[in-house]
Amino acid sequence: MNYHFFVGNDNGNSEHDMIVDGRLIQQPNVNCTVDVLPWSEEQSPESFIKNLQEQLVVTIDSPATRPGMYYVGKFALESGEILDNLQIGIDLKCDMDLPVVNTLAQIAAVAVQKAYDEEKKIPDQIDVEIDMATALPVTQHTDENAAKFEKRFMSGTHHVTVHLGIHRVAVKLVFSFTKVVPEATPVIFTLQKDADGSWRDGDIFKDFTETYGLEKKFNGSYFKDKRILHVDIGDGSTEYPITEGNKFLRQFVHGSHHGIGYAIEEALDDFNKQIHLPDSPRQFFSDVIKNTKHKYHARALRTLKRPLESQARQIIQNVKRQLTKARNEIDVICVYGGGSILLHTILNPLLKELCDEREMKLLYIPSEFAVQLNAMGLDSFVRGKIYEALKNKAALPV
């Protein structure tokens, strides 16, 4: 079976958000290497299909990463095995195996699910050609690092075996083109257009239009000529790029090592003591925070309060630095990313006051859109004319 997938790939420090063939995949960005399959008895391979992302086990043979068998995402996190994750503020994503392994695994899993949906049977082999847009933090994005990361995907054929119990499906992945852009910048495409290419409207702008008394037929065309200061708050970094229309203004590149991950690491020892654990990974704490029904949720929030306030102060200082550099010539400050949700109650009033005094507007993206905004932007970008032009240019003989 042969497929062609467009992939928008946001490889976050904590969460992996991908849009593969139009489908959003969200998983903890962790994996672990193992020697044997977790299943011994015969289980129907079909029973794995529906929730494959939650029980993803793959064997990878690729020129881009060390070969081996991996538990990926949620299955790794819940396995009790020693996890591989991205060390915030330390690891260069372009050099790490983890983002490559998890990207290959998730694309292969979607291919298996698509084949089963279409054929109503488990295939033996699938070939997938991929066009992908992904990103590096602004603080790590250089021409050299971007080219290195692109090359890891495009420099050969990646063989992924997806394990459905003891049944195996061989998936061959070839990246026809990959473009690595600075994180946050693809969001300009998301703010303006939806997945169908129409002007975006709806709940994503509800608070914004009510706050500023904008007309009821408001849509994404509002942003097509606006100068926007982005505040993309992640786990291990916050990016503060400035865009004008669809242009990324290279002279205003700025990012800082602040984010939810730092607050969590600061709170983690206290949290572990309170729940009588000698150790637990950052991603476990993140899951407890997200799950309001978890028995440790309230305790986790209490230990996080002071570290969050510290991160918010640092982020405000970096926003002010960018505004000074731009001489306050900003129309909208747009805040999003996984970290923006937990920081909302602290950060929103501080930024609103800042915007009011400097005569600009604040667009604080609602929590239901905040995490996936980068993946949505990358998906729009990979399907767009700019990506197509870059791909065609790269194919020309030198």
Asked whether residue 176 falls in the same domain as residue 203, the answer is: no
Asked whether residue 240 falls in the same domain as residue 346, the answer is: yes
Is 55 domain-assigned? Answer: yes
What the block records as the tokens of 316 is 């405000």
Strand partners, 112: none
Asked whether residue 316 falls in the same domain as residue 195, the answer is: yes
Domain limits for position 97: 2-182
pLDDT given at position 89: 60
- pLDDT band for position 331 (50/70/90)? very high
Asked whether residue 28 falls in the same domain as residue 142, the answer is: yes
Of 256, 250, 267, whose CA–CA distance to 233 is shortest? Answer: 256
Asked whether residue 11 falls in the same domain as residue 61, the answer is: yes
8-43 confidence digits (pLDDT tens)? 999 987 889 999 999 999 999 999 999 999 987 778
Is 383 domain-assigned? Answer: no
In the predicted structure, residue 155 carries a pLDDT above the cut 80 = yes
What the block records as the tokens of 284 is 């476990």
Asked whether residue 108 falls in the same domain as residue 227, the answer is: no
What the block records as the tokens of 140 is 């790590």
Contact partners, residue 87, CB within 8 Å, separation at least 6 = none
* Residue 20 to residues 103, 126, 243, 302, Cα–Cα distance (Å): 10, 15, 26, 37
190-226 confidence digits (pLDDT tens)? 999 887 888 999 999 999 999 999 977 899 999 999 9
260-289 confidence digits (pLDDT tens)? 888 888 888 888 888 887 777 777 888 888
Asked whether residue 157 falls in the same domain as residue 240, the answer is: no
Of 115, 70, 117, whose CA–CA distance to 97 is shortest? Answer: 70
Specify the CATH number for the domain of residue 115: 3.30.420.40
Least confident of 71-75, 79-83, 319-323: 79-83
Asked whether residue 43 falls in the same domain as residue 121, the answer is: yes
pLDDT given at position 29: 92
Is 391 domain-assigned? Answer: no
* Residue 226 to residues 243, 318, 360, Cα–Cα distance (Å): 8, 21, 11
> How far apart (Å, rounded) are the C-alpha atoms in residues 254 and 241?
6
Pairing of strands 167-182, 125-136: parallel
Is 281 domain-assigned? Answer: no
Q: Which residue type, as a one-letter code, is found at position 249?
A: L
Is 18 domain-assigned? Answer: yes
> How far apart (Å, rounded) are the C-alpha atoms in residues 105 and 200?
31
Is 69 domain-assigned? Answer: yes
Asked whether residue 215 falls in the same domain as residue 77, the answer is: no
Residue 233 exposed, middle or buried by CB count within 10 Å (0-12, 13-18, 19+): buried
Mean pLDDT of 290-300: 87
- Boundary of a domain, candidates 148, 182, 216: 182
Asked whether residue 208 falls in the same domain as residue 116, the answer is: no
Is 215 domain-assigned? Answer: yes
Asked whether residue 116 falls in the same domain as residue 248, the answer is: no
pLDDT given at position 279: 78
User: Structurally, how many domains does the chain consist of?
Assistant: 2
In the predicted structure, residue 233 carries a pLDDT above the cut 80 = yes
> How far apart (Å, rounded) are the C-alpha atoms in residues 62 and 71?
16
pLDDT given at position 60: 97
Name the percent of the chain lying above pLDDT 90. 65
What the block records as the tokens of 328 is 């306050």
* Residue 54 to residues 26, 82, 137, 281, 296, Cα–Cα distance (Å): 10, 18, 27, 18, 22
- Boundary of a domain, candidates 182, 198, 218: 182
Mean pLDDT of 91-96: 86
More confident residue, 215 or 252: 252
Asked whether residue 175 falls in the same domain as residue 195, the answer is: no
The HSE-up count of residue 172 (CA atoms within 13 Å, CB side) is 8
pLDDT given at position 169: 97
What the block records as the tokens of 109 is 């899993």
Q: How far is CA 373 from the centre of its chain?
A: 8
pLDDT given at position 273: 85
Angle at 6 between CA 192 and CA 73, to 5 degrees: 100
Contact partners, residue 148, CB within 8 Å, separation at least 6 = 94, 95
Strand partners, 164: 167
pTM: 0.87
Mean pLDDT of 368-388: 91
Of 235, 206, 269, whose CA–CA distance to 341 is shortest? Answer: 235
- pLDDT band for position 54 (50/70/90)? very high
In the predicted structure, residue 88 carries a pLDDT above the cut 80 = no
> How far apart (Å, rounded) are the C-alpha atoms in residues 233 and 338?
6
Do 226 and 304 meet the contact criterion of CB atoms below 8 Å apart?
no
Q: For the chain, where are the alpha helices, taking DSSP H only?
A: 46-49, 74-77, 98-119, 143-154, 187-192, 206-212, 260-274, 282-290, 297-325, 338-342, 344-358, 367-370, 373-382, 385-395
Least confident of 105-109, 174-178, 245-249, 353-357: 245-249
Is 277 domain-assigned? Answer: no
CA dihedral sign, ordered 257, 319, 244, 370:
positive
Q: How far is CA 130 from the centre of its chain?
A: 18
Tokens 């990878």 appear where? 60
pLDDT given at position 139: 76
- Boundary of a domain, candidates 182, 199, 231: 182
59-75 confidence digits (pLDDT tens)? 999 999 999 999 999 99
